[in-house]
C-alpha cells in the first residue's frame, strides 16, 4: 500500500520574485495619485445605495468602522488604485463618512481605536511603576555580579586572547 504524500499548497520560496517586474498592480503607478482624486473615487463609490446599505449592515452587526476603512484602503493599494500613503491620508475622511451615515440611520458604531482595557487609577499606576523600579534594581545588581564573572572568562578565551603561556611575543625590531 502506497503512502499518500501530504498536499502542500504554500508558494515555493522565491516564487514572488519570478513574476515579471511591473506585472503586479501595486508595482505600477497608481490610478489615483492625488488624495483628492482617491477621495472622489471612494466617496462616489461608497455613496451608492446598495454598497452603503451593506456597509451599514456590517457596522450595525458590530464591525468597527476603522476595520472597514483599513480593509478598503488596503484593497485599493493592492489593486493599484492609489499608493499606500494616499490610502492612509484618506482613511480619516472615510471614517467620518461612515460615522455620519451611521448617525443618520441611528446606528450605534465603534471606530475600533477605543481603549478596551480597564482604566487604571493614579495610585495603581504609581504602585506598578514602583514595583517595576524595584525589579529593575534587583536585576541590575545581579547583572553587575554576572558581568564581572563574564569579564574574567572573556579574558581567557576568544580570537584575540593571549596565549596561556602568559608571555607576550617580542616586538619586531626594525633593521637599519
pLDDT number for residue 11: 77
Q: Is the dihedral of CA 11, 12, 17, 22 positive or negative?
A: negative
Q: Output the average pLDDT for the chain.
A: 78
pTM: 0.57
User: What pLDDT, on a 0 to 100 scale, did the predictor assign at position 118?
Assistant: 59
The pLDDT of residue 75 is 92
Q: What pLDDT score was predicted for residue 21?
A: 79
pLDDT > 60? residue 166: no
Q: What percent of the chain has pLDDT over 90?
A: 42
Cβ(106)–Cβ(100) below 8 Å: no
Mean pLDDT of 71-93: 92
pLDDT per position as a tens digit, 110-142: 888 766 565 667 777 777 777 777 766 665 555
End-to-end CA distance of the chain: 85
pLDDT tens figures, 4-43? 776 777 778 887 778 787 778 878 888 999 999 999 999 9
Helices 49-61, 65-78: crossing angle, 10 deg rounding? 130
Burial of 73 (0-12, 13-18, 19+ CB in 10 A): buried
Amino acid at each position: 500500500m502506497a503512502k499518500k504524500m501530504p498536499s502542500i499548497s504554500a508558494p515555493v520560496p522565491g516564487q514572488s520574485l519570478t513574476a515579471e517586474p511591473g506585472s503586479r498592480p501595486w508595482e505600477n503607478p497608481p490610478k489615483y495619485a492625488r488624495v483628492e482624486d482617491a477621495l472622489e473615487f471612494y466617496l462616489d463609490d461608497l455613496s451608492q445605495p446598495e454598497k452603503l446599505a451593506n456597509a451599514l449592515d456590517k457596522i450595525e452587526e458590530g464591525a468597527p468602522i476603522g476595520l472597514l476603512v483599513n480593509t478598503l484602503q488596503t484593497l485599493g493599494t493592492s489593486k493599484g488604485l492609489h499608493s499606500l500613503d494616499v490610502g492612509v491620508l484618506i482613511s480619516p475622511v472615510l471614517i467620518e463618512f461612515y460615522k455620519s451615515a451611521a448617525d443618520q440611520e441611528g446606528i450605534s458604531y465603534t471606530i475600533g481605536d477605543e481603549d478596551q482595557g480597564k482604566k487604571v487609577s493614579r495610585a495603581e499606576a504609581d504602585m506598578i511603576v514602583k514595583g517595576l523600579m524595584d525589579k529593575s534594581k534587583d536585576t541590575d545588581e545581579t547583572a553587575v555580579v554576572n558581568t564581572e564573572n563574564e569579564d574574567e572568562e572573556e579574558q581567557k578565551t576568544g580570537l584575540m586572547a593571549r596565549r596561556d603561556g602568559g608571555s607576550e611575543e617580542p616586538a619586531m625590531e626594525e633593521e637599519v
